[in-house]
Amino acid sequence: MSFLLKEMINREASKQPWAQRRIAITGASGTLGMALSKAIRAKGGFVIGLTHKSNYNENNTSDEGPQQWVHWECGKEKELEELFKTIDVLVLNHGINPGGNLDSEGLNLALEINALSNWRLIENFEKIIFNEKENTTQKEIWVNTSEAEIQPAFSPSYEISKRLIGQLVSFKYNSLTQIEKSKLKIRKIILGPFRSKLNPIGIMNVQWVASQVICQASLGFKLIIVTPNPITYFVMPITEIFRGLYFRIFENK
């Protein structure tokens, strides 16, 4: 009986992979962050919103947004380590777009926020997971990198920073051992233009985008693509395959 009961519980859990899971989202106060929060909560997950905003209110929760808010700053990623010990999924969704700003200040800011802070968060979360000896549940990192990895975004600084974090995520995934992959799953999110405060003329509805992200993650996709551009569905997987092959050429040298 106990075996049958366990099997029933496992089957039910597989149908609701986000139920009772603690999911932290950076950039949670933005348009996509709020949409992801709503979609995850609808699946039974507990959402922790990570925000840079200094005027955030940790009690400012709604029926659709994060159930908990935590303030953090780029350069102080280590301060989140205690929180990381309590979460199952880390969604890296924060970023900026300097637009046509071509000065070094704009580029440095884009690199710091879009790439380097993401990389430090990945490293910190990974370290905690691999140091846990009793954990039997696979943890996850989702990184929103953008179509700018493979095509113009009419913002050179944004493109450079997004391509950097995109390549770093590919490197990280390919550098994990099989044992490490059993403890940590890394997903990459590639999104086309959606309507938001930053992009009011975006083509896609953000709630639909968020639902597609959760749907593809539930199906086990490591490369999540939501865009009206058919080229991305063809080029991005090929790019990931060649990055993996290139890495394997050197991994034993």
Q: What residues are labeled active site?
A: 158
Structure tokens at 171: 């490197």
Residue 120: burial class (beta carbons within 10 Å; 0-12, 13-18, 19+): middle
Query: What does the alpha-carbon distance between residue 247 and residue 18 come to, in Å, rounded to a whole number?
Result: 32
What's at 201, amino acid-wise?
I
CB 118 within 8 A of CB 162: no
Q: Please give the structure tokens belonging to residue 10.
A: 């496992």
| Cα angle 59-63-64, degrees, rounded to a multiple of 5 | 105
d(CA 145, CA 201): 20
Phi, psi (deg, nearest 5) at residue 168: -65, -40
Asked whether the beta carbons of 38 and 64 are under 8 A apart, the reply is yes
- CA angle 44/90/36 to nearest 5° reads 50
